[in-house]
Amino acid sequence: MKKTTILSVILLVLGAYQYASSQDLKLNNLEYFETQGVNVLVYNNLFTGGFNDEKNAGIELIHHGVRTAQGGAIRLSNTPEQWDLVPDISNRKVDRASNTIEATLRYKDYDFESKVVVTPKGKGIEIAVYLDKPVPKALEKAAGFNLEFLPSQYWGKAYLMDGRYNRFPRYVVGNSTTNPNSEKPKQFKGYNTSDDRGTGRFVDPLPLEKGRTFLLAPDEPSRLIKITSQDADLMLYDGRVLAQNGWFVVRSLLPAGKTGKVLSWTVEPNAIKGWVREPNIGFSQVGYLPAQQKVAVIELDKKDKPLATVSLYKIGADGNAASVYSSKIQDWGDYYKYHYVKFDFTSVKEPGIYFIKYGNFQTNNFLIENSVYDKITDATSDIWIPIHMNHMTVNEAYRVWHGEPFKEGYRQAPPNTDHFDLHAQGPTTDTKYKALESIPGLNVGGFFDAGDFDIETGANISVVQNFVRTWEYFKPQRDQTFVSQKQRYVDLHRPDGTPDVLQFIEHGTLNLVAQAEKIGHMSQTLSNAVLDNYHHLGDAASLTDGLPYNPNLAPYEVAPDGRSSGVKDDLWAFTTRNPGLDMNAATMMAAASRALKGYNDDLSARALQQSKRLLKESTELIANLPPDSFARRFGSSASSNLQLYISTGEQQYLDKFQELLWPALDRNVNFGLLTALDAIPHLDAAYKEKLRPYVVKYNDYIKGLEKNNPYGVPIGLGNWAGSGEVINFGTTVCFASKYFPDIVAASHAFKASNYLFGCHPYHNYSLVATVGATRPKAVFYGNNRADFSFIPGNVAPGLLFRKPDHFENYDDWPFFWGQNEGTIAGNTSYLIFGSAFKNLVK
């Protein structure tokens, strides 16, 4: 009887699997294959030329609501890294008659072209590779079809290869080989990739397993996938051997000397019978003021029938919870993949601890209280920003975040250098310095751009502007950071008697003024010379040896006096002149000169001097550009002239500001309105009245957002998620409602804060690290990303849109910079928004 019962259970389980898995995938109107619980995207998202492999492209699987596999394409490496070559998708064809999607993939460096055809087959899809010409000799045993699986969704799960059991490792394991003399396909774009200490050039991971039938996660039905191949071995690799952001890779090599259909896989994702995605109840993790509007947005699977009511519970002093308010839901409608309803509990005003309950689903708790927004910027200004101060040692209690980086300074980038991260040097240096000559005086001040350690000049310009706006409007006296330029030392949580924001303005201005003085104009960036340094994680001071390179020394040799070395690790200054960037710098320096007056008068005077010079020179350079060039049409800056007028009082700058402003607002009121609002305290009543119709136009835009999406904020759909757009929207609303309260209601600013703090698609985590104490995001892309951690106060880019209809934000995998990486420009934009928002609340 026992044996019969066990056998019956096994048969029932297998039957259920067969039923669930046998649901046919259909080609939908959005041009991907779909059944409930499974979406297979086929080159809906393409590899980018600028950043190569962002783990966001190719054939992708969205499995029970989570994108778990991607990168399906012909690749030239077992475990491709970010900067490895990616194929151009020269043609994508959807054929509804044959129910197929096909794409042509091309590697122009090898004149190698292939065609990948995806067709529904049985319980899954067939992926077939066709060649018109055999694999080039240089790519034999290198070109293969890869499909990559997200480690965080599979580690700890079991797998079977041809019936052999194993388990996906939590931490990178596996064997590799090294062969410095091996001939590999060209994987990079021609820039210097590493010296011989770099691992990536000589290491090849070996497969964890090899076979013809591969079953992933039979112990987790929501991640269960079966892959079979009749043509070639399936090899499983752990891409984390070479890079912490590597994925589990399933790969088959293309055969040499063959044409036609040379490879085929059958991929069968399990679809759980009757699966419906759980509701995502979006609300502010920070909480709500008693008097503010309070609306939760509930994101529902389109197959999920909305419930009639939602309830709000209050937790009493005795720990028990009781329902205090119930309401009918308000239907909003469909937005991309999901259906949305709203729950308005504005009438609940009593301070306390609450949670929302929708059917069997309830949220974590949140507060209704008058002080919920008081500290929303503290972690950003006290921790994240000072940690990103370059050329300083940064200490926090027992922890050193980083030592003093780049003591050796910066060298002139060689002409005609096509570099990584969109950096490039033009045909000349545009400076008095020769290629690789040391440029003195640049290793001072400035802020790391983001999760890397370069100084992006454009971003640093925005940073100082954000600090100055915060200082001039709100004069924050918060002092929680010790900053000593003389000692090149920063100590967190240690007041030094000077407002932190003023010290941040000084620190950013020091580097930018040094660029103007030493180079003669603004650099594009101060960045890494070699790729192995660029993707460095950990202490920035260990990225280089701190000693200037001496070509007369042997590799890694240190001079007897200890002042130079034979290590080619010095950073480069990319100095191709950009008059638009110079004009932006003129704006920033004019503003910084005001803020620094009385604190650092010397730096203030130097900033103003460089501002005037750069504005004059950049205006002349832009005037000589072709009439149809972008810089000629949009380069002249109303903002630069406004800032110089405020700093100097000279009429010429005011006249130019007025000349440029109104046409800019006519072109795009959203883009120029904040600059126009900045001028109100410095101009007369007639100016404010002339601005009024533009504010009315902006208010119409705000109203339109309510119809555009259920959150009522601008949601970006690009390759960088949209928190920045939401922050800029919130800041503009704060200032517009300050000066035109009869037109723009202050309540619109709360839409921005709600979105940032949890009322958004996909999940309801606060997008600001440690802000929203119950459930902020816990994993970010920072320079500590390999620790699966965060730097307090980091603001995530947010909900990344994957074409054609999927939003995502991973909190278990930090290595997607487009959704998890905080930037110095973005986080200081959050500082000005948070300051303006707190002021509005008061």
Tens of pLDDT, residue by residue over 371-387, are 999 999 999 999 999 99
CA-based nearest residue to 518, from 440, 570, 596: 440
CATH number, domain of 791, equals 1.50.10.10
pLDDT of residue 626: 84
Q: How many CA atoms lie within 13 A of 150 on its CB side?
A: 22
> pLDDT tens digits for 1-47?
444 443 333 333 444 444 344 478 999 999 999 999 999 999 999 99
CA-based nearest residue to 798, from 808, 786, 787: 808
Residue 219 placed within a domain: yes
> How far apart (Å, rounded) are the C-alpha atoms in residues 451 and 821?
7
Residue that finishes a domain, picked among 338, 368, 398? 368
Are residue 411 and residue 517 in the same domain, yes or no? yes
pLDDT at 629 > cutoff 80: no
Residue that finishes a domain, picked among 529, 545, 576? 576
Are residue 33 and residue 61 in the same domain, yes or no? yes
Q: Which residue has the higher pLDDT, 630 or 766?
A: 766
pLDDT at 245 > cutoff 50: yes
pLDDT level of residue 774 (50, 70, 90 thresholds): confident
Q: Which residue has the higher pLDDT, 533 or 1?
A: 533
> What contacts 343, CB < 8 A, 6 or more positions away?
295, 296, 298, 310, 327, 329, 330, 356, 358
Task: Kindly state the average pLDDT of the residues 490-519.
Answer: 98
Residue 616 placed within a domain: yes
Residue 376 placed within a domain: no
pLDDT level of residue 840 (50, 70, 90 thresholds): very high
> How far apart (Å, rounded) are the C-alpha atoms in residues 502 and 506?
6
Are residue 827 and residue 816 in the same domain, yes or no? yes
pLDDT level of residue 197 (50, 70, 90 thresholds): low
Are residue 647 and residue 722 in the same domain, yes or no? no
**Other Cβ atoms within 10 Å of 278 Cβ, number:** 12
Are residue 252 and residue 213 in the same domain, yes or no? yes
CA-based nearest residue to 217, from 268, 266, 264, 173: 268
pLDDT of residue 152: 98
Are residue 240 and residue 125 in the same domain, yes or no? yes
Are residue 187 and residue 83 in the same domain, yes or no? yes
> How far apart (Å, rounded) are the C-alpha atoms in residues 357 and 647?
54
Task: Kindly state the average pLDDT of the residues 417-423.
Answer: 84
pLDDT at 193 > cutoff 50: no
Tokens of 580: 């638009």
pLDDT at 569 > cutoff 50: yes
Proportion of the chain above pLDDT 90, given as a percent = 87
DSSP 444: S
Number of domains in the chain: 5
Residue 518 placed within a domain: yes
Are residue 188 and residue 229 in the same domain, yes or no? yes
Domain that holds residue 566: 388-576
CB under 8 A, 24+ apart: contacts of 801-804: 801/715, 801/716, 801/717, 801/718, 801/721, 801/722, 802/41, 802/44, 802/45, 802/56, 802/60, 802/67, 803/41, 803/44, 803/45, 804/30, 804/31, 804/32, 804/44
> How far apart (Å, rounded) are the C-alpha atoms in residues 518 and 501?
26
DSSP 3-state of 565: strand
pLDDT of residue 821: 97
CA-based nearest residue to 485, from 399, 602, 565: 602
Tokens of 511: 């580097």
pLDDT level of residue 801 (50, 70, 90 thresholds): very high
Residue 714 placed within a domain: yes
Residue that finishes a domain, picked among 552, 576, 600? 576
What are 795's strand-pairing partners?
Answer: 768
Tokens of 814: 């930090």
pLDDT level of residue 422 (50, 70, 90 thresholds): confident
- Answer whether 742's CB lies under 8 Å from 788's CB: no
pLDDT at 185 > cutoff 80: no
Residue 835 placed within a domain: yes
Encode burial over 499-526: b for 16+ CB neighbours within 10 A, e otherwise: bbbbbbbbbbbbbbbbbbebbbbbbbbb
Tokens of 118: 């995806």
Whole-angstrom Cα Rg for the chain: 29
Task: Kindly state the average pLDDT of the residues 654-669.
Answer: 94
Are residue 32 and residue 130 in the same domain, yes or no? yes
Are residue 649 and residue 509 in the same domain, yes or no? no
Task: Tell me, rounded to whole angstroms, the distance of Cα 425 from its chain centroid.
Answer: 25
The catalytic residue positions are 812, 821
What are 309's strand-pairing partners?
Answer: 328
Q: Which residue has the higher pLDDT, 632 or 745?
A: 745
CATH number, domain of 313, equals 2.60.40.10
Task: Kindly state the average pLDDT of the residues 306-319.
Answer: 97
Are residue 8 and residue 129 in the same domain, yes or no? yes
pLDDT level of residue 557 (50, 70, 90 thresholds): very high
DSSP 230-299: SSS-EEEEEGGGT-TT--EEEEEEPPTT--EEEEEEEEEE---TT--PPPEEE--SS-B-TTS--EEEEE
Residue 373 placed within a domain: no
Mean pLDDT score of the chain: 93
Are residue 144 and residue 188 in the same domain, yes or no? yes
Residue 638 placed within a domain: yes
